[in-house]
């Protein structure tokens, strides 16, 4: 059994990004990332702070627009429009979730596709499905990079993705289909989840439920990618799978923390560098 070290891979990517920002500085270019943070959600704020720190580490200019949860939708749209026109901003992302009175789709669609470093704009989602180059959502992008780094074959494999969100599950399914895997997507209304996971060579879980996947739900030598981030009753960060027992059966497994999480920020920064090159006309 191999524990996939997402932290190590992410750090390798970060080092390459540092080199790229140095190269861009020779053109007098500093990549810029703008984040919109609405409300006081602790997890969102922590994640945004981590993004800002990483940007500083690699030489990316970063600004956070903090807004109260009572903000109007129009004011968010006005801010996005301002950033769309700002030549110093190459990437724009809106930290999700948003308050219920805000139309999330309308907000995401307002971001200029060439600055959509989160990869959630319908333009980039469409390119992903069609297997055309664009911006990929950071978490699925990171997972695909881990498969690549660990030489985990996808072609012809049976994959079960547990969780059908627009942020992770659906784009991840499309990326795996593009690699010729056979993909089974499960969600909260799926009957007999175990019957789906038992058939899979690769199980990816991002449902936000502690110990959702147990040892009896996978076959021997399964590859397990745990995308979940939860806190147990002791305040410890855990994923969606029973890591201790699954690790006895699987061939590869990602830990929580230290698996998929670090990859998400690394791939976001990689998208930001790509956006800077596109927006500044550098090949």
Query: Domain segments of the chain: what residues?
Result: 27-112, 138-261
Residue 157 near residue 182 (C-beta atoms within 8 A): yes
* pLDDT score of 171: 98
pLDDT band at residue 90 under the 50/70/90 scheme: very high
CA 276 to chain centre: 19
pLDDT given for residue 47 in this prediction = 87
Residue 117: other Cβ atoms inside 10 A? 29
The model's confidence at residue 52, banded by pLDDT at 50, 70 and 90, is very high
Catalytic machinery residues: 51, 95, 118
**In 3D, which of 99, 93, 94 has the Cα closest to residue 39?**
99
- What's the sign of the alpha-carbon dihedral 95, 92, 114, 146? negative
Separation CA 259–CA 240 (nearest Å): 12
- Establish whether domains 27-112 and 138-261 are of one fold: yes
Tell me what pLDDT residue 42 has.
83
What pLDDT is recorded for position 12? Answer: 97
CA of 202: how far to CAs of 20, 140, 183, 192, 211, in Å? 33, 14, 10, 18, 17
Residue 41 has pLDDT above 90, yes or no: no
Q: What is the CATH number of domain 138-261?
A: 3.40.50.720
Q: Are the C-beta atoms of residues 172 and 129 closer than 8 Å to each other? A: no
Consecutive H or E run containing 186: strand 182-186
Q: In CATH, what number does 27-112 get?
A: 3.40.50.10860
**Burial (CB count within 10 angstroms: exposed 0-12, middle 13-18, buried 19+), residue 61:** middle
- Nearest residue to 252 (alpha-carbon basis) of 172, 142, 139, 150: 150
> Are 226 and 259 contacting, i.e. CB atoms less than 8 angstroms apart?
yes
Answer yes or no: is pLDDT of 283 > 80: no
**pLDDT value for 43:** 82
Distance in angstroms (rounded) separating the CA atoms of residues 211 and 38:
31
């Amino acid at each position: 059994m191999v524990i996939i070290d997402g932290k190590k891979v992410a750090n390798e990517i970060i080092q390459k990004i540092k080199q790229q920002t140095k190269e861009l500085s020779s053109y007098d270019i500093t990549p810029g990332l703008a984040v919109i943070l609405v409300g006081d959600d602790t997890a969102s704020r922590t994640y945004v702070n981590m993004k800002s720190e990483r940007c500083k580490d690699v030489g990316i200019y970063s600004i956070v627009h903090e807004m109260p949860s009572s903000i109007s939708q129009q004011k968010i749209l006005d801010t996005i429009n301002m950033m769309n026109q700002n030549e110093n901003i190459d990437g724009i992302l809106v930290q999700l979730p948003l308050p219920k009175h805000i139309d999330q789709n309308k907000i995401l669609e307002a971001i200029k596709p060439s600055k959509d470093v989160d990869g959630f704009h319908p333009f980039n989602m469409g390119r992903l499905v069609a297997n055309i180059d664009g911006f990929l959502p950071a978490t699925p992008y990171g997972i695909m990079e881990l498969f690549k780094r660990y030489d985990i074959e996808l072609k012809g494999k049976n994959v079960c993705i547990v969780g059908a969100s627009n942020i992770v599950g659906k784009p991840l399914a499309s990326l795996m289909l593009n690699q010729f895997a056979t993909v089974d997507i499960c969600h909260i209304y799926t009957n007999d989840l175990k019957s789906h996971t038992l058939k899979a060579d690769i199980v990816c879980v991002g449902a936000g439920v502690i110990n959702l996947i147990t040892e009896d739900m996978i076959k021997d030598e399964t590859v397990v990618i745990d995308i979940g981030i939860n806190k147990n009753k002791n305040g410890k960060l855990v994923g969606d799978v029973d890591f201790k027992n699954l690790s006895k059966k699987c061939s590869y497994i990602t830990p929580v923390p230290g698996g998929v999480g670090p990859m998400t920020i690394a791939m976001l920064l990689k998208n930001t560098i790509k956006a800077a090159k596109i927006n500044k006309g550098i090949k």
